[in-house]
Structure 1
């Protein structure tokens, strides 16, 4: 990333009255939101990480992220993705909880020039300590699996060399397959939420999900199930041996600056009630 590009990203970021940073792109205001990720421990689920997400606003009202990103012109996509990542890293200190890992998205198709992509990764890691972060706290989610295999392998190697862990997103769909897992050796595999929801409709879902989790464990990866939206999803994920859990049934994304409730969630209560969001932020 050139100096000119970095300067432009900084010019597009403002700070609100309480110190939360937000981005400006056209008529949109881009705000960081963080969704908790839980690990089962005994009969409780403990928040161990957050995934950074962008919540676009237009005329003071939230807009669906897909609607915003679909509106971004191709020449501006690298700029917008870079700005989003900068916002997430800078705003992490405003979630009010220490010690949680931070998942952030990285789409290698948006920056598919190897030299620029590697320079961007090095630049990002160089300034982490200024933000109260360490590479060991970060998990880079590879969000687009259609990238060239050679480029993707080189990028993953560079990211990992800097101490950042790798997650493959949307496993079960598109290019996110066991073959790609074998090639990249990710630290974490995220099971696609839509695929998992469809899978859970089968009567023997628990019985068939456990072998998949075991296979991924044998490859050295932890398994994160996203899209947990009801008690059935949670039961299948827990019975299957998933390591990490994420979804609206457990907690919705919340904007940076919202007070974080650190109490663990009781699995017995979650499994015994109808699909209902358990608010983790108040």
Structure 2
């Protein structure tokens, strides 16, 4: 990391505890990293392949209520997500299992031109932590529509990183950017998951959409899986990756995590040979 970056507001806001976990200090708040595993399909098993990261904001050792952030200045509020992203990269090695070896999904938000410089720093940090660039996936849905969005997506590909869009965004990409956008990962957020699996007609249409997306080279990630019925529907729809509290809830970095494969039969309450596995 360059000397300038070591003196940046983000770097100055980060400290390390006695076991090596990084945390952020922002006013009276402490920022910690939570991870939720993303599972890939391997035969009749689910295997953790990635982690999505979020920030847990604490005050006095307890989660801070959302309205407590009103005490932060606009400058501090702008720093919060940037600190969270840096913590997520630094703390991935502390996912609590014997040999953590996962991809990382990070949400990007803010000014696209400023983010380009931040991405460089995050990828440099990842390299220092032994995480290859192709194992970082940036979620870009909130940036679509910005004038430099297409250039950012193309730049990530040139740098060797990946990116994701949510289903609605990927289905309604604006034209005219001059850059072809083909997201490697398409997310189905929890609200969409609940709606799709709750309506038979939507589920049939969704299966066709998943097939189309996969033919274009995208991995489809269904999130917010809350029970066995939603898991069965996600599997039947042909999802490549699955996430939700039913499979494993978010946990703080450093918390013990069972990274052993999960059998479909154990999770959906049906014999493995009747699980509808689509290509």
* TM-score normalized by the length of structure 1: 0.84
Partners of 2:47 and 2:29 in 1: CA distance: 34
Cα distance change on mapping 1:129 and 1:145 into 2, 3 Å: closer
CA contact (8 A) 1:78 1:111 kept: no
Is residue 2:32 matched to residue 1:39?
A: no
State the Cα deviation string for residues 153-191 of structure 1 (Å, max 9, x = none): 11111112111011113x23xxx1413298521100001
State the Cα deviation string for residues 63-84 of structure 1 (Å, max 9, x = none): 46x6577875543343222211
Q: Which stretch of the first structure deviates more once superposed, 235-244 or 258-267?
A: 258-267
Aligned to 1:58: 59
State the Cα deviation string for residues 69-109 of structure 1 (Å, max 9, x = none): 787554334322221111111111111433311111111xx
Is residue 2:209 matched to residue 1:212?
A: yes
Aligned to 1:280: none
Residue 5 of structure 1: CA displacement? 8.7
CA contact (8 A) 1:56 1:68 kept: no
Displaced runs of 4 or more, over 6 A: 68-71
State the Cα deviation string for residues 40-65 of structure 1 (Å, max 9, x = none): 2222111111111111112211246x
CA contact (8 A) 2:144 2:173 kept: no
Correspondence list, 1:4-23, <5 A:
6-23=7-24
CA contact (8 A) 1:33 1:253 kept: yes
Runs of 5+ unmatched residues, structure 1? 274-282
Cα distance change on mapping 1:157 and 1:13 into 2, 3 Å: same
Is residue 2:222 matched to residue 1:229?
A: no
Partners of 2:174 and 2:10 in 1: CA distance: 33
Aligned partner (choices 153, 165, 189) of residue 192 of structure 1: 189
Partners of 1:49 and 1:209 in 2: CA distance: 24
Residue 137 of structure 1: CA displacement? 1.2
> 2:257 aligns to what SS in structure 1?
coil
Over the residues paired in the alignment, what is the CA RMSD in angstroms? 2.5
* TM-score normalized by the length of structure 2: 0.85
Partners of 2:71 and 2:148 in 1: CA distance: 27
